[in-house]
């Protein structure tokens, strides 16, 4: 090798080396994980997910374990920052010390804004993940199906009836973030795939009549969740953010009527309509009247 070539190679390596820190400064892949409880492995009864229930502590630990499995799967796919939103009840179910990895931010407690189960989402995320989710109110063959609270009969936007995973996917879509994975019972995974397209899912259980369910052991569910989240995050560029063209018209049907939100219209017994070009304002109206 001539001295000139050797010097040129050394120079090239020095230039590459100088740019390496720039590459390292590229934003780390960040994922948003919203975690509910009704769709966790083994959960079949309201008492399983109620702080006063006999086995709440057990299912709370399973909630943390499924969350950790999702984080590990996303890490394997290259994610280095994780925001976890506790999305059940008063949102104080996940115990901070139960989350294993570094790089995890936990959002706990009820929030006042329209995002609710998606509190903390913005355009900095590469993917959104739903763990422990359940089907919407009125879904047949579903476990603990409901929409937001026991008062909602149906919630639709622009004629599309939406489960929590549907309108939460719309919130993510507002920021261009695709939902890449969801875990829950079979009814939930079927419902979200028909709404969101070919996202990765794990059905951890299915209803087999009455209040009975047949399901995976928590360890098996966690292994499948980790692998499914990894595939989903790797495949994120192929998945479209869930969006609807505005303006957004919601129709909300409830059992007990609440005071009318400003600009909303009562269209029948327990039925309300509200239209806005701002999806978050529609969710404000939903949260006020649900
Ligand atoms: Zn819940």
Confidence band of 27 (pLDDT split at 50, 70, 90): confident
- Distance in Å, CA 89 to ligand 1 centroid: 6
Q: What local confidence, expressed as pLDDT, does residue 49 receive?
A: 98
- Distance in Å, CA 158 to ligand 1 centroid: 25
- Distance in Å, CA 236 to ligand 1 centroid: 26
pTM of the model: 0.91
2 Rama class: left (phi>0) / alpha (psi -120 to 50) / beta: beta
Residue closest to 126 by CA, chosen among 80, 58, 165, 85: 80
Q: Are 152 and 271 in contact (CB under 8 A)?
A: no
Instruction: Give the contacts of 256 (CB within 8 A, at least 6 positions apart).
Output: 151, 270
Domains, in order of start, for the chain: 25-152+163-243 (3.40.50.10780), 245-290 (no CATH)
Q: pLDDT tens, 130-170? A: 999 999 999 999 999 999 999 999 999 999 999 999 999 99
pLDDT at residue 244 greater than cutoff 60: yes
Detail the DSSP E strand segments found in 49-98.
Answer: 79-86
> What is the crossing angle of helices 218-234 and 56-76, to 10°?
30
| pLDDT, the chain, mean | 93
**Residues paired with residue 249 on neighbouring β-strands, in sequence order:** 275
- The Cα–Cα gap between 169 and 157 comes to 13
pLDDT above 70 as % of the chain? 91
- Distance in Å, CA 245 to ligand 1 centroid: 28
Q: Give 24-27's long-range contacts (Cβ < 8 A, gap of 24+).
A: 27/124
């Amino acid at each position: 090798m001539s001295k000139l070539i050797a010097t040129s190679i050394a120079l090239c390596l020095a230039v590459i080396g100088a740019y390496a820190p720039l590459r390292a400064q590229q934003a780390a892949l960040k994922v948003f994980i919203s975690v509910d409880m009704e769709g966790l492995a083994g959960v079949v009864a309201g008492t399983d997910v109620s702080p006063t229930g006999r086995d709440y502590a057990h299912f709370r630990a399973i909630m943390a374990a499924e969350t950790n499995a999702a984080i590990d799967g996303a890490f394997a796919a290259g994610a280095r920052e994780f925001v976890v939103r506790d999305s059940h009840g008063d949102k104080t179910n996940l115990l901070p010390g139960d989350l294993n990895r570094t790089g995890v931010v936990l959002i706990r407690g009820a929030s006042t804004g329209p995002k609710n189960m998606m509190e903390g989402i913005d355009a900095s995320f590469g993917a959104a993940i739903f763990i422990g989710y359940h089907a919407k109110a009125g879904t047949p063959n579903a476990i603990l199906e409901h929409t937001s609270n026991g008062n909602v009969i149906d919630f639709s936007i622009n004629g599309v009836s939406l489960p929590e995973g549907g309108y939460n996917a719309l919130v993510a879509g507002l920021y261009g973030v695709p939902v890449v994975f969801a875990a829950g019972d079979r009814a939930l995974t079927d419902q979200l795939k028909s709404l969101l397209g070919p996202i990765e899912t794990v059905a951890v259980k299915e209803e087999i009549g009455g209040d009975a369910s047949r399901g995976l052991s928590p360890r098996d569910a966690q292994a499948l969740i980790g692998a499914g989240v990894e595939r989903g995050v790797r495949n994120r560029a192929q998945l479209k953010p869930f969006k609807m063209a505005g303006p957004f018209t919601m129709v909300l049907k409830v059992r007990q009527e609440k005071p009318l939100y400003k600009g909303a219209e009562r269209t029948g017994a327990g039925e309300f309509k509200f239209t806005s070009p701002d999806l978050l304002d529609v969710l404000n109206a939903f949260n006020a009247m649900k």
